[in-house]
A and B are shown apart, each in its own frame.
Chain A
Amino acid sequence: MALTYPIVAELVRGRLQLGAKEKLRIQKLIPSGLQRLAEEVSQDTQKRRFLLTDRFTVTATPDATGAIDLTSLINSSGLMLDKIRYGAIYNGTDQRQLDYFSNSQFAEYSMAFANTYQTKFYRLTGRTLHAFRGDQTPITTDLNFQVPYTPTLSQMPENDLLTDLLDILGEMVTSGGLQGGVTRADENT
């Protein structure tokens, strides 16, 4: 059975033995819970693979300067801007990943990469990704992203991460995530 917000809320409510009235309030916490789950999974080398975007469907084409505004990928695919480095970016069918290059590294060492046409790099400035080759020529063909993302509930691999999500939501509830306190299952609601 596919996971839905009401199902997850009911699982959390049952785990914590909360009153029936709390279910809808728990539903409201699920988007934040998914975000926290994505954060935690992206930093867990064992679990990271469960929440990486599909490189064959999450793609973008740089402009003539090699720049891509990632805003639409963040919105449509849940791409996590600050976790891109934990994933891999490919250039079309090329099996080699683009290497990450910080802006300061770029400023300091860019000349050292002259003439390394085969090596590909990217750097991030705000929400803009710049893709370039070692000789600083921009990459203008499709980039494929296999990077950490925040899933929707239906995208989340149920068998691998449901328990983690329930743990997170449980912690959010017990640490005061439900405004106005909670009622317990044995209270008259």
Chain B
Amino acid sequence: MAVANITEIASRYNRLVFATDLYQRTLSSPPKKQSFNSDQEITDIILEADELLCLDIRNTIGHEWAPTFFALSAALQNGAPIPAMDAPVHKVTWSTAADGTYQDSEVSYKNDIIEAIKNPLRFGEQVSDIYGYHEIVASVLYSTSPYTKVTQCPWTRTAVCQSPQSYTTGVLAGALALTPKEGLDSGLITFAEKKFEEFRAMVRARAMILPEIVEWEESR
């Protein structure tokens, strides 16, 4: 799936903003404090909106777009610290061999994990019966498995949008919502703020497509 196109969003943004009477008026008679007028500012504000959506994606466990940002750790053993990054853990997998096939690990309690490792035959008929459980406490991995990998979801802003193309409307609404109101149609901005909040809620609910906004379609 493609990512949202920043050029297209910037273009739509400009069409919407320039379509308002109030902004037209500011062009001929700029307000005293017009805080928004360069292409770079437009790009920055679009990337800021994109960032908010991307952070919503990465913080939503199970979001289908999150794998785009995934970073897989090395094979870790019980008691190892997980890689330090400002990122939520989306998945933990385990294997009997460091380079073997990894399968999903299930979350458990640290104390039970430690007890199971010490006395595996109280938890199963064979040692392998205890494999596949983990808990992460204070960035330390507790795992009953011989080898465990942690999938984290870090995110860094770049010069382009990173949210999916199907979120284009969301990025556009976000850019408008983040635009300073001075000199612009405050009705448009207020409407965009409301829409952006709705879209963010949809993203957190794992929606893969954000709908177009009918009111804005007419201005395209």
Contact = CB atoms under 8 A, between A and B. Distances in A.
B112 A153 contact: no
- The dominant DSSP class at the B interface is mixed
Contacts, number: 49
B16 to A, nearest CB: 39
B49 interface: no
B137 interface: no
Contacts of A86: none
B124 interface: yes
A141 interface: no
A169 B124 CA distance: 15
Interface stretch (A23-31, A39-47, A87-95, A118-126): A23-31
A152 to B, nearest CB: 6
A24 B125 CA distance: 13
A24 B112 CA distance: 7
Interface residues of A, number: 16
A6 B125 contact: no
A4 B125 contact: yes
A154 to B, nearest CB: 6
A23 B106 contact: yes
A154 B115 CA distance: 23
- The dominant DSSP class at the A interface is helix
B108 A23 contact: yes
A5 B106 contact: no
Nearest to A6: B129
A10 to B, nearest CB: 9
Given A4-B125, A5-B129, A28 B112 contact: yes
A152 B130 CA distance: 16
B123 A20 contact: no
Contacts of B112: 24-25, 28
Contacts of B132: 6
B122 A24 contact: no
A49 B135 CA distance: 43
Interface string A9-32: 000000000001101110110110
A104 interface: no
Given A6-B132, A27-B130, A28-B112, A21 B125 contact: no
Contacts of B129: 4-6, 27
B147 interface: no
A154 B116 contact: no
Contacts of A21: 107-109, 135
Nearest to A153: B125
Interface string B85-116: 00000000000000000000011110011011
A163 interface: no
Given A27-B129, A27-B130, A20 B107 contact: yes
Contacts of A75: none
Nearest to B124: A5
B14 to A, nearest CB: 43
Contacts of A6: 124, 129, 132
A105 interface: no
B135 to A, nearest CB: 8
B151 interface: no
A76 interface: no
Given A31-B122, A153-B125, 20 more contacts: A4-B129, A5-B123, A5-B124, A5-B125, A5-B130, A20-B106, A20-B107, A21-B107, A21-B109, A21-B135, A24-B106, A24-B108, A25-B108, A25-B109, A27-B124, A28-B115, A28-B123, A30-B124, A152-B125, A189-B107
14 contacts: A4-B124, A4-B129, A5-B130, A6-B132, A20-B107, A21-B107, A21-B108, A21-B109, A25-B109, A27-B123, A27-B124, A28-B122, A31-B122, A153-B125
Interface of A: 4-6, 20-21, 23-25, 27-28, 30-31, 152-154, 189
